[in-house]
Amino acid sequence: MTPALFHGAWRLALVQGVAAALWSRVLRQPYWWAPIHLLFLPAAIALLTLQLPSWLYLLVVLLLALVFWGTVKGDVPLFLSSTAVADALTVIVDRENAGAFADLGAGVGSAAVPLAQHRAMIVDAWERAPLPWLVTAWRCRKLPNASAKRESLWGCDLARYDVVFAFLSPAVMVKLGEKVRREMRPGSLFVSSSFPVPDWQPESVVQIEDRRGVKLFCYRVVTTQQKK
């Protein structure tokens, strides 16, 4: 590629990125799409200039598929809970005297494993993506009360759990709320990290003192879920 053509391609990529980012806001896409639109084409051109071997791209695609497998079928990307969130959940399960706990979309077991270590209760970590599930299964191998389930969270029956925890995405909270209302027993507790269930009134909101300033929205399940 000649220098003139190279610089022309960079200008075109930047113009396209800015235009795509602006249109993402016009179309009211989630805010995190804007930097993706802005940087995608410039990043592609930058990688071409490195002249990397073709097998390396295939390896990256395979690794991403193993980590974000569930997104293909409508699940959500991998989000990791902080140690401070796990500490707050230990307080919650102790207060609830929980005998069974579910982590929906458990990732690498950031919440499930510390809880299983903390309390002699059943802990089920539901994770569909192969690589995060494998990490969680390895971390649970010496914990007789913990189990890593490589299944979709949508197939999980919530009726057996005293406390259910999820750190998912705003896009699925309405659907998840319907599942919670339909399956969880009256008196049990649903805890959502960062994302509230639309139109539901939480029993309490726990402010976490971590880097992201996470909030835990705690919903007490009743016979008919009360809304605002």
Q: How many Cβ atoms sit within 10 Å of the Cβ of residue 87? A: 15
Check whether 45 has a pLDDT greater than 60.
yes
Residue scoring higher pLDDT (111 or 53): 111
Q: Provide the pLDDT for residue 38.
A: 84
pTM (two decimals): 0.72
- Confidence category of residue 75, pLDDT binned at 50, 70, 90: low
Take residue 166 and report the two structure tokens written for it: 């999820």
Mean pLDDT of 38-52: 79
First to last CA, the chain: 61
DSSP 196: P
Helix/strand/coil for 147: strand
The helix or strand, by DSSP H or E, that contains position 146, with its residue range, turns out to be strand 146-149
Mean pLDDT of 103-121: 95
Residues with Cβ within 8 Å of residue 221, at least 6 apart in sequence: 180, 181, 184, 185, 186, 187, 188, 189, 190
- Confidence category of residue 178, pLDDT binned at 50, 70, 90: very high
Domains of the chain: 3-73 (no CATH), 83-220 (3.40.50.150)
